[in-house]
Structure 1
């Protein structure tokens, strides 16, 4: 009886641990070297109500070609699967030394289950015969789509067609979660308080030595550049985003400059009003003369 119990316990441990077994493997993305192709990964943790952890790595900078580059990336994700409200994808991307033209391997990612239950995310990876090694806590079963079928690389079931990328999406960089940041959020953030500590503030506008730009100068600048001085253009914002602290400082600077212009305009207005009063008196006196 004791022997049976021992075998039963061992069998139970093996059975319960099998769902958490680490999986490893490798795959190669072909196609053109300067393009990033969709590779889908299964959300193996979904059936177990767990988060899937996927690690992508390239230790050898000379793998596939001289100085192709190194990569260490970790993705944690839980797919939407046509209705789950707890879906997310977080990424930590770090790359080692690489020579031009190679500077990155990952161009973007997306949950590919907005209208299906395939439990697959999409990661765009550099092609050109680049090999990637993966480790995961659940089965991820990578599928590479580097060859088009009828012009389509990957057809998201019930969703859009996905082709290759030629550049990185705005939220992607070569070192960490987000360039010089500690986190990146794809969904809105709700908070009762947000404290930002900028490097400086805009009170220098009120310094007597500050050269306040004239309205004529501002008008000329706007005609040429289509935006205010010191304020980033629409293209810059789309490419780089904005620094909240720096943008608030800049906007306050514009408010302070506008305030100084309004004060000056108000002085001019009051002076004109006084001159008008004098002129009215003179006109009235002229009318009274015989």
Structure 2
């Protein structure tokens, strides 16, 4: 029966080629119509061209597989093992030199490919890798690390697009050389979250900032382990300083977090630096405390509001040396001959009426405005110099009075002698 079947198949094949007509041969692969069904097509040299054989519900095939295609011209580029044609159009083909061609999309893991090559891998604990490429070479040789490409994407417009070798990745460049410690080369600007690339590296977070005070959006985070189990993070936030919905109430807050702690800007971040572009304020501090601020060129220690002063301190100040430079009117003019020293009676009258020295601020003025150290030292020196002139004048008067008293005592002594002499007469 098998011989009759093969003879019929051979005859039909001859008729097909002779008459260029399509003939159909039906063979039951499940071996119901015929016992031990088998079709074999051979070349003129006895080489197996096609072999198909099935027994029961399992397949039996020779070592070369259930399908084999041989040719006497294995190196001919136009010598095809197998062609799939529709109305004279090649849809797919396999060449003798091992190359293949598909006119449409190819799907791996999917029967509905939407690209020229569509790879789909449903998660499987036994097969977690969707795509793997491996090249066996000798590490450390240029041919392996530089000459071989795992991925090589080029375009006629921009040349190199993406290239991957055994060392690293090149985007717009060749990949790093095998002897280079680098892993990535990028030509052009890079954007994360944006395609508006105005710099070599641009990061944009499209999450809007809330309108409530202390609402924040984390923009970037750089971290490393601090030699122990603690993970230090340098985080940059956009934070709302006060209730609002525009840029005037927003600030950049750069602070340190540790693990999952100290992650709330303006509340508990450590050693932070904050910038307010609306009021031109830069501040440094920790948690909710501001240690130092620069407000439009004015420096505040322990305060942001410098009251318009170039330097403001909220708290005690200690220094080993301090110099206050005055531009003019140092009170040396008090000692000049044309200076009019106020009369002590006038000073007494002013003190009785105002309860403080002339030109010296009152207690109420100091409580309200504080004191200018340079100006106060100048006024105090002026009063000391005036007091010195008063003392000099007093000393002069005392000396003149002492001389007069001596003269008066001498005159009194002389008068006593005269009186005594008259009494004796």
TM-score, normalised by the number of residues in structure 2: 0.35
Return the structure number with greater strand share: 2
Max Rg structure: 2
Return the structure number with greater helix share: 1
TM-score, normalised by the number of residues in structure 1: 0.50
